[in-house]
Structures are given as C-alpha cells and as structure tokens.
Structure 1
Amino acid sequence: MKTTIPIKRKYGFTLVELLVAVSVMAIIAMLGWRGLDVIIRARNSLTGELEKAHGVQLAFAQMESDCEHLISYSTLPNRAPLVVAQNRLVLVRNVFADNQPSRVQVVAYHLRDGVLSRRESAATRDLATLDALWQAEAADVANSRDVVLQTGVAGMGVRVWLSDGTGWRQPGIDVAPSGGATPTGLEVLLQVQGAARGMTKVFLLGAQ
C-alpha cells in the first residue's frame, strides 16, 4: 500500500501584489515629499520676512536716535535742521562724546534702487563748515560713506507734524514754515518689497 505524503504549499506575495504595494508606497512618498516641500517653502518665506522686519526695526532705531538728537531750530537761524523729500531725509544732529564739547553733524537717509542707506558727515563746531557739509549733502550723490541699512525696500514715505495745528505735512521742501511753527514729530513709512503693508514709525524731534 502506497503512502501519500502531503505536499506543503509555500505562501508568498504574487507579482501583482508586489506591484500594488510598491505603487502605494510611491504615492505615499510623493504626497509626503510635497507636504515637506510646502513646509520648507513656507519656513524660508517666513524667515525672509522676519529678517526684513528685523532690518527695518534696526533702521527705525537709528532714525529714532538721530531724531532725538536733532538740533534746535534757533541754532541755525538761516537754515532748517530738517529737510524731508520723497525717499530722502536730511537732518542736523548733536554729537556728544566723553570729555569733548558738543558738536553737530549732517545725517542723511536715502532710498536708491531698493536700498535704504545712511551716511553722516564729520562732526564740527564751526557753523561755516556745517553749512559747507550741508551744501555737499544737497548734491545727493552716493559715496563710500553710505552705510546700507536695509535692502529690498520698495518705497519710503516721510511726513512731519507741525505744532501750529496744520497737522501732518507732506515732503518736498524745507519743513520750517513761514509762520514760525516748528515740526515736533516725524513719520516714516518703509514699504518692503513683497509685503502687503508697509511699516510705519513716528518719532519725536529733539528733546521733547
């Protein structure tokens, strides 16, 4: 009598099942890569915006220091110590140093080709020298003394607040009005490229 030995079947994945599994894994990997790519792009965009905002805040801090030390209008009877124009701000400020007498210097902010820069003249106590420095600054020519404060700036708006009740005044000419009122506040708007809204800061002029 013959004895029949049962044959053990080997179970495994068929070729079709392997192809389906590989296809599913590929789809999951593609979806995961797209999600990761979106996260990385959003992070890079946010990092760039934060860096620009930080640069603008540093520029505002420098402007605040300059405005705080603006000389009084009585110091320069024939010239206003503050001139505002489109994409440009020029002022005369006091300079204080340890063990030295107070001096003055001309400071200018310029916006050219999306670059906001600041430059300052040498400090002096001589009004004739100061007038020459002012005239040189009036030429509005870029030079090696320019210090870049922020790049990627689309526009710069400047206004002043007059104490005679006329309120904010648009730039374009010397700020000192004929009626004798002097500006007490300065508003600066910086529009960063790609930003939906500009960043605005208001400064007090001189020691208020």
Structure 2
Amino acid sequence: MNKSTPAIREPWNKGKLVGQKTPLRLKDIWAIRVRLQLAEKIRDLALFELAIDSKLRACDLISLRVRDVAHGDHVSSRAVVMQRKTKRPVQFEITEQTRNALETWIIRAKLRNDDYLFPSRLSRLDHLSTRQYARIVKNWVTSIGLDPSSYGTHTLRRTKASLIYRRTKNLRAVQLLLGHTKIESTVRYLGIEVDDALEMAEQTEV
C-alpha cells in the first residue's frame, strides 16, 4: 500500500521581506506630509505627524484618547503614555506642527475628552485597528513611490528615533524615547551596528 506523500507547506514568509522595516528619510516625511496637506486629509495628517513624534508602537498609538494628548481643544507639548507591551510609561514631545494638525482634527471630528483620538469609521465606540493603521501606512508610502514591502507601522516608530541617533549618537536618549527597558534592545532595533559599520566603510577610501 503506497503512503501518500505529505503536502509540502510553504513558509509563511515566502516571497515576503521580513525583519526590521526601513525608517523614512526626511524627504519622504515631507513628501507624505505635503500630499496629505494638499489632499486635505486632516485625520491622516494628524495620525502621520503624531506617529512620527510619539515613536509609539501601533497598538499604543491607535488606542490614544483625546485626554492623553490634549486638554479640550488645546494639545499639550508633551504627553506620557503607559505602554501596553512593557507596562511602563514613556514620554514624548508633540511639536508645533503636530499640535496644529491634531487641534484641527479634534475640532473637525468634534472629539470629546474621553473619545478615541482616531476612532474607527466603522464604529465611533472603537478606535482604528492595527490592520487599518497598517493599510493607511501602506497607502502613504505607496503614494510617494516607495516599495510598501519595505515599510510598515514600525517605520513610523523608528523614523524619528533613527534621525535623533544619527544626529546625536546618544543611545541612552533614544532608549528612553522608545521606552526600551534594555539598551541592547535599542541597539538591535535601530540596527546601528550594521549601519555604522557601513557608514565608516563608505567614508574610508582605499
């Protein structure tokens, strides 16, 4: 009696780019920002600006309530959020550009203090899902001609952290901003060992 050959299962990541997602460059940030402004996508602009500033994980970003960043219509210059993953608080700055975008969105959407900052369009009682947020990010990067397989929600989390590290080389500061408990996590997250080695190699002529 012949035994049937077991079906060969393809790996879940076949044909997909896995690993860390690429942070945006300054020109990419401005390209997305301008497109959202021109299209008058008020919610998306507020979401994009806050994602860059806050450096929060997707699950923490989408579950923010108005009271986490604002008092009434007035958005604060700093905020503190309890991270879902680590159960530790993390503080972040909210730049003037982001404050303006958020204030416009809060007023336009008529959001109250206890409302989710980015409510789902399917139900005002719930916030954007991580899947919806990922889809929005994909649309952003695709709109400026970037390969969506190389970018994701973690792109927004990594972007400002990577820029800060590049300018300051201050790992401890970036660790605090990302809310990492161990500095080794920050090193791995930024991929700085590989990047710095490549940068030094590029600057070395032989």
TM-score, length basis structure 1: 0.29
**TM-score, with length taken from structure 2:** 0.29
Name the one with the larger strand percent: 1
